[in-house]
Amino acid sequence: MVDGVRTVGFDEFAGYGLRICRPRGLSAADAQAVIDAARQRVGHRYDLRNIVDLLRYLWPTPPVPGHLRRRLLALGSGDPTRAICSSLIAQCFQSVRYPILPRVEQVQDDPYCSACLREQWHIRHHSLFVPADFDLSPYFEVVKPPALDVDYRALPWR
């Protein structure tokens, strides 16, 4: 957090449990645009206020109904040169209008036709995303390492 947004190699994550979420169907041109958007943010600072806002949002028992919690956030510092990891990634994908967890609403175009419905998609503000949203998104594929062959009966359980 002290160094802000920076590029690092995979060796920086040795020993950590990593989760790789691959966007499904993203075109090569849009993938490059997402990469370029991320590179443009190298050097930006982390948005500590957004981290506090997310902690408030994720607090297990806030004094408001769950469906209103996202709306209570102050949306971070409002400074476009500040970010947190998940909001930065969301912002980069949203730059090419790639969905993460959009809000989808059914809209009736013709008031006289009850069957005339269409979907209207709404983009959530990038500062409202947390890492788990990429896992939960049906538009990202979770890449897992190959399963280990193990004789579970021979494990030294206590």
Residue 152 covered by a domain: no
pTM of the predicted model as reported, rounded to 2 decimal places: 0.67
Residue of 76, 36, 51 whose CA lies nearest to 1 = 51
pLDDT tens figures, 80-106: 434 468 888 999 999 999 999 998 899
Alpha helices in 67-108, H assignment, sequence order: 85-94
What is the distance between the alpha carbons of residues 100 and 136, in angstroms, rounded to a whole number? Answer: 9
Residue 133 covered by a domain: yes
Residue 70 covered by a domain: yes
Give the total number of structural domains in the chain.
Answer: 1
> Residue 96's domain spans which residues?
10-146
Residue 158 covered by a domain: no
Residues making up the chain, counted from first to last: 158
Task: Name every residue whose Cβ is closer than 8 Å to that of residue 6 and which is 6 or more positions away in sequence.
Answer: 42, 43
pLDDT tens figures, 44-81: 877 666 555 555 555 656 566 666 655 554 444 444 43
What is the distance between the alpha carbons of residues 1 and 112, in angstroms, rounded to a whole number? Answer: 55
What is the distance between the alpha carbons of residues 127 and 33, in angstroms, rounded to a whole number? Answer: 20
Q: Bridge partners of 84? A: none
